[in-house]
Amino acid sequence: MKFPPASPTFIFYLLFFASTPLALLGTVPAVWANETKASEVGINEPETSETRTVVAQAGGVSILSPQTSEVSEAATNLVIRYPAATQVEVTVNQKPLDPSLPNQVVQDEAQDDAQNLVIQSWPRIPLETGENVLRVRALPDGPATNVTVTVKNTAPRLELFAANAPQIPADGRSTLTLQGQLSDASGARILQDTLVTLTTSAGKFIGADQDTDRPGFQVIARQGEFTAQLQSTLEAQKVRVRASLDPKQGQEQRRQEQQNQNQNQDQIEAETQVEFVTNLRTSLVSGSLSLRIGNSGSDFYRGFRDFLNPELLDDGTQVDFNAAVFATGRLGEWLFTGAWNNQRPLNQTCDNETRLFRDLQFCDQQYPVYGDSSTVDYLTPSIDSVYVRLERTSPVPGAEPDYAMWGDYNTEEFARASQLFSATTRQLHGFKLNYNLGNFQASVLYGNNVEGFQRDTIAPDGTSGYYFLSRRLLVEGSENVFLEIEEINRPGTVLERKTFSRGVDYDIDYDRGTILFRRPILATEFDPFGTTLVRRIVATYQYEGRGNTGTDLYAGRLQYNFSQEFNRESWAGISYLRDNQGDRNFELYGFDTLIPLGENSQFIAEVARSRNDSVYRGDITGTAYRFELNAALSQDLRGRLYYRDVDEDFSNNATISFTPGQTRYGASVNARIGPSTTFEALYDRESNYGISSLERTTFNDLFNPGIEPRPGSRVDNTLTTISAGIQQRFGAAELSLNWVNRDREDRIGDDDLDGNASQLVSRLTIPILQNLSFRAQNELNLGESDPLYPDRTVVGLNWAVMPGVSVQLNHQFYTEGRFARYSVTSLDTILEHSFSEDTKMTGRYSLLGGANGTTMQGAVGLNHRWTIAPGLRINLTYERLFGDVFGRTAAGDRYPQPYAVSQSAASLGLRSGHSYSVGFEYTDNPALQASARYEHRSDGDDDNTVISAAVTGKVSPSLTALLRYQQANSSNQLLTGLGDTSSVRLGLAYRDLQSDRFNALLRYEYRKNPSVIPDTLLFGNGTGSQDHTFALEAIYAPNWQWEFYGKYALRSSTTDFARNFSNNGFVSLAQFRTAYQLSYNMDLAGEVRWISQNSTDYNELGFVLETGYYLTPNLRLAAGYSFGRVSDREFDSRSDSGPYVTLTVKLNELFNGFGLQRVAPRQQQESQVTQVSAPTGETP
């Protein structure tokens, strides 16, 4: 085989090893000479015959060290003595000693020269846990000398369990005590104080976090024990709790055991499962019923669109009935929760927006100034006027809750761990049922308010946004956002998928269709195993415009649970889904099963079939298969078998990304063949036979991408990959060498993807300091070069700045092929904590009393941060890509595009450029909290600068200030020329903590280009706008009878339609209300409101005067008079006035006393002694 000439990579390694002190190779000794003096050995140094101890001797061969003993460290120093003319054989556990281990041979100066004895030593020979027999004998047939060294298993053991019953009510208040124990291998508790990290999949830990700068919730194990309190949520569910130990802290036993590869010290953890059960609480009812009789269109307290509505003014007297009711309580073994509002959707907010689940976004949490850290939970989410839910804890042990409901819901029952191609992850509204009967579990759902469904995949550019989706006017709350990671040249197999949560991880503008993340999203990721990975932002959502006539969705799943034991769950299930989209329909069938095979093995099988009305290909049907076997054959041997096949006509946009028309199967094995040696082998075959996406080049394609890509050319190729390699540890250093062969065959293309190439991959990791390590990797083609895997060199530094957080600096460059002169440089802060699949970080973090983690930390997104001073944290990222990454892959062509629709992510490429970000966060002063981040991206064609900053604090004990600034542009490929979108918010709140009579709130907001979208580019010069909003409101209550409230707001808007045309407008609002309590049963109130808009000469004036009398504490009768007048330049002026009567009932119970709060009986009091006469000698 002919080797290529020396490359810059090879020369780099020569220079590196020539200039690097060998002491940097961890514990590898610094002396490698064959002969030296005994005094230079330094390990069990034999000085004189009087001090030397012979441990074992036979036939002139003796073992000087070690002695037969029991040790904690999985390594020992071996020193033997034998005649110089003798050849010896050394074995450890009947295996010859590794000849690559460093050793020294010296002359024995303690003996006469006539004896001619030598001493040979091997430092730090690896041992195994248990008995280790070291044997030395003279060749060929000399007697053997043996020494037995027993290595104790000193790995710490961590246990976690519930102190009492592992069930607590899901009421948001109950707490469950968790206990843990930390012991050594013998069962004795470790007495040294140790920090333990706790994480949970639901709920939150309460109490003091011992280290708020670290991810998760920290507790201290004292005398080998620790406890923690977990508070429940309002949702009944099974909860996974995990406790983990930092392998680098504390225990000397663990430091020694790290040398033993039998123990995985990075996984010192324990898990347990608890359950939040249905809270069968006492009944509660809240709400009101109101009956109003008065002139139509004159209801002062109705919405702006209803008061003085021209369509209602001529309807005469009108009777209005308003109802708003909430009820919850126990009905037998079921919990009932319901809500009804006949005037508006339950999810409607004060700005008339209605979105699924109505959870708060960052922009909704404007002024956290009240200092009580109160929270709001929406128990009845529904985009219509009704919510009903019946729920119970299933009588089947370990089963999920039984429930039937109408409202907003997720589809977690249709996205099990065994489902990939048949999974469905969506946010829907309608009916849902889940019921357990023995081992059977049935799930049914129906969605009656389904509109157009879209899937977009976007290549991040290293900033946090704005990322424009392909659609505008999204259905609010319907989105699911993920970050997927896959190999750069192997599209179709997602290696990792992370779910983003609205508010915590990103903000979304549903009108514009934009997403702004809380932290930068880098385009690439360097895999420690050596493969360059790419990140993809995946968003699925519904969009308006199709209407909901003839559109609905229904699905069902029947699952048989073989076992519901914790960490031993197994099941088999079938599922069906049908999505009626008007003129298009979609059906999905599926079968899946998950079966555990022993403690660390499992088998997964799945078959899915879809029928889809394609826009370009008509009615198509496809099938997908998946079979996976992960097996731990022994403690030292693991294997994996897999097979995946996806027809080119298979479709499912509500699951993980895949490439239609791809088959992939193979096997891998990983074996530990020595205490410090690991062998791995892989066989993988990939076949692509689908249809690639057609490149979009026109404006129409850009602004009307459709719901699926246009079909391009067909692909037909195969790739067979065979690799084998070995990894060797030298103390703390690691060296690995892999041989990889790739055999490609392209039956359609122009031979770009044909050929057979072998590559030699070498990796080296060297600890430089205790928390700083250097790593390098070289990929060298042997002969013919692979078109997608040319010669590559990677160098990097990893700095562990604190437990769980590290900073990585990596640089990789290519030297041949289509990637010649392409390189990537990245600097990123990595969260290293390895949490289980269903476990998330949960801790306590607050700024002032009422500012939660979302309000401040989320404003900048320092989720991956490290502490440089108490209360001061920073975050740095850097990424530079030299050269575009487009061109062909086995799945088709890659080309620039702002978004890839449907399952066409394989067509996404990367653009060259560099991005960086710097962020900080200060929380040490309770009276001042601040955070800021600056990001910049430049690719030659366009720049994007993202600035986020927030500060809040106490100006005085009664005055709180809040300031925020945000600026960003487009982060999509090809979307250049859009103006920056920026905003400034300033808030001042006054509240005297000693007297609550007067409260005031001042607000100023500036917005620039808040509505710019990609369609703006069609107008040539584009459009821009600026808004200034000022608002002041105050409330004053001098005593229990009087209350005064006033508000004034002004907004100035400027819109630029072209360079020489703009429009200015002002809108103002003034409002004043006063109320007087005539008596405990009677009140009097008056209110006036004025709205003005100068651009249309619009003025609206209205006032109301009302008096009310409480017939009972829950029944109020009121009479009043309302007046309103509107003057408008564009339309006729109008006015209306007249008296009205209202009857309002406050609800606190329903039928048969349901919801009535019983008055608690009078409690016993301590006896009181009344003195009737003065003691003797005193005057009364």
Label residues 692-725 b or e (16+ Cβ within 10 Å = b).
bbbbbeeeeebeebebbbbeeeebebbbbbbbeb
37-56: average pLDDT: 41
d(CA 541, CA 457): 12
Asked whether 707 and 700 are in contact (CB, 8 A), the reply is no
Question: Using 50, 70 and 90 to split pLDDT, how confident is the model at 1154?
Answer: low
1012-1021: average pLDDT: 67
Whether residue 140 is preceded by a cis peptide bond, meaning omega within 30 degrees of 0, is yes
Q: Is the pLDDT of residue 49 over 80?
A: no
What's the mean per-residue pLDDT of the chain? Answer: 82
CA 1084 and chain centroid, separation: 53
Angle of CA points 1045, 1050, 1053, to nearest 5°: 160
For residue 1146, CA distances in Å to 70, 290, 339 come to: 79, 9, 15
Q: Is the pLDDT of residue 670 over 70?
A: yes
Q: Is the pLDDT of residue 377 over 70?
A: yes
CATH class of 952-1153: mainly beta
d(CA 392, CA 189): 41
Query: What are 1057-1078's pLDDT values in tens digits?
Result: 666 677 888 999 999 999 999 9
Q: Is the pLDDT of residue 262 over 80?
A: no
Cβ atoms within 10 Å, residue 54? 11
- Cα end-to-end span (Å), the chain: 120
184-206: average pLDDT: 86
Range list of H helices, 245-340: 252-257
DSSP string, 823-863: EEEEEEEEE-----TT-B-----EETTTEETTTTHHHHT-S
pLDDT of residue 365: 53
Query: What are 453-470's pLDDT values in tens digits?
Result: 999 999 999 999 899 999
Query: Which of residues 182 and 314 earns the better pLDDT score?
Result: 182
Q: Is the pLDDT of residue 1097 over 60?
A: yes
Query: What are 966-987's pLDDT values in tens digits?
Result: 999 999 988 888 889 999 999 9
Q: Is the pLDDT of residue 925 over 90?
A: no
674-688, 732-746, 990-1004, 1142-1156: which has the minimum mean pLDDT?
Answer: 1142-1156
876 HSE (CA, 13 A, CB side): 12
Q: Which residues contact 8 (CB under 8 A, 6 or more apart)?
A: 793, 815
What the block records as the tokens of 966 is 């945000």
Write the DSSP symbol of residue 424.
-
The structural domains of the chain, with segments of one domain joined by +, span 31-151, 157-277, 952-1153
Q: Do domains 157-277 and 952-1153 have the same CATH topology?
A: no
Percent of the chain with pLDDT over 90: 45
Q: Is the pLDDT of residue 38 over 60?
A: no
306-334: average pLDDT: 88
Asked whether 1107 and 1120 are in contact (CB, 8 A), the reply is yes
Fold of the domain spanning 31-151: Immunoglobulin-like (2.60.40)
Q: Is the pLDDT of residue 626 over 80?
A: yes
What the block records as the tokens of 828 is 């990123």
Query: What are 68-114's pLDDT values in tens digits?
Result: 888 877 788 899 888 888 888 889 888 888 776 777 777 655 555 55
d(CA 1158, CA 1161): 9
Q: Is the pLDDT of residue 533 over 60?
A: yes
Return the closest-CA partner of residue 304 out of 1069, 1031, 1049, 1033.
1069
Q: Is the pLDDT of residue 1169 over 70?
A: no
Question: Using 50, 70 and 90 to split pLDDT, how confident is the model at 543?
Answer: very high
d(CA 452, CA 545): 7
Query: Which of residues 1074 and 701 earns the better pLDDT score?
Result: 1074
Torsion angle defined by CA atoms of residues 816, 818, 822 and 826, in that order, rounded to the nearest 10 degrees: -110
pLDDT of residue 8: 42
What the block records as the tokens of 728 is 């060797």
Asked whether 860 and 362 are in contact (CB, 8 A), the reply is no
Write the DSSP symbol of residue 1138.
E
d(CA 624, CA 660): 9
822-826: average pLDDT: 78
Task: Look at the pTM and tell me if it is higher than 0.85.
Answer: no
d(CA 586, CA 708): 13
Of 528-537, 796-805, 954-963, give the range with the top mean pLDDT.
954-963
d(CA 299, CA 295): 8
Query: Which of residues 806 and 579 earns the better pLDDT score?
Result: 579
d(CA 25, CA 764): 10
d(CA 901, CA 917): 29
Q: What is the residue whose two structure tokens read 């960086």? A: 916
Label residues 139-149 b or e (16+ Cβ within 10 Å = b).
eeebeebebeb
Q: Is the pLDDT of residue 706 over 90?
A: no
pLDDT of residue 786: 80
Q: Is the pLDDT of residue 155 over 80?
A: no
pLDDT of residue 1164: 58
Cβ atoms within 10 Å, residue 661? 24
pLDDT of residue 258: 34
pLDDT of residue 33: 30
Question: Using 50, 70 and 90 to split pLDDT, how confident is the model at 1141?
Answer: very high
d(CA 77, CA 879): 46
d(CA 973, CA 939): 10
Question: Using 50, 70 and 90 to split pLDDT, how confident is the model at 482?
Answer: very high
886-906: average pLDDT: 89
Q: Which residues contact 1022 (CB under 8 A, 6 or more apart)?
A: 977, 978, 979, 1012, 1016
How are the residues of the chain apportioned to helix, strand and coil, as percentages rounded to the nearest 5? Answer: 5, 55, 40
Asked whether 847 and 929 are in contact (CB, 8 A), the reply is yes
Sheet with 217-221, side-by-side order of all strands? 167-169, 269-277, 237-245, 194-200, 217-221
d(CA 121, CA 41): 8
> Which residue type, as a one-letter code, is found at position 1057?
F
Question: Using 50, 70 and 90 to split pLDDT, how confident is the model at 53?
Answer: low
Q: Which residues contact 322 (CB under 8 A, 6 or more apart)?
A: 288, 289, 290, 291, 292, 342, 343
Q: Is the pLDDT of residue 610 over 90?
A: yes
Q: Is the pLDDT of residue 325 over 70?
A: yes
d(CA 839, CA 851): 25
3 HSE (CA, 13 A, CB side): 6
Question: Using 50, 70 and 90 to split pLDDT, how confident is the model at 837?
Answer: very low
> Which residue type, as a one-letter code, is found at position 256?
Q
Q: Is the pLDDT of residue 634 over 50?
A: yes
pLDDT of residue 654: 95
Collapsing DSSP to helix, strand or coil, 885 comes out as strand
CATH code of the region 157-277: 2.60.40.10
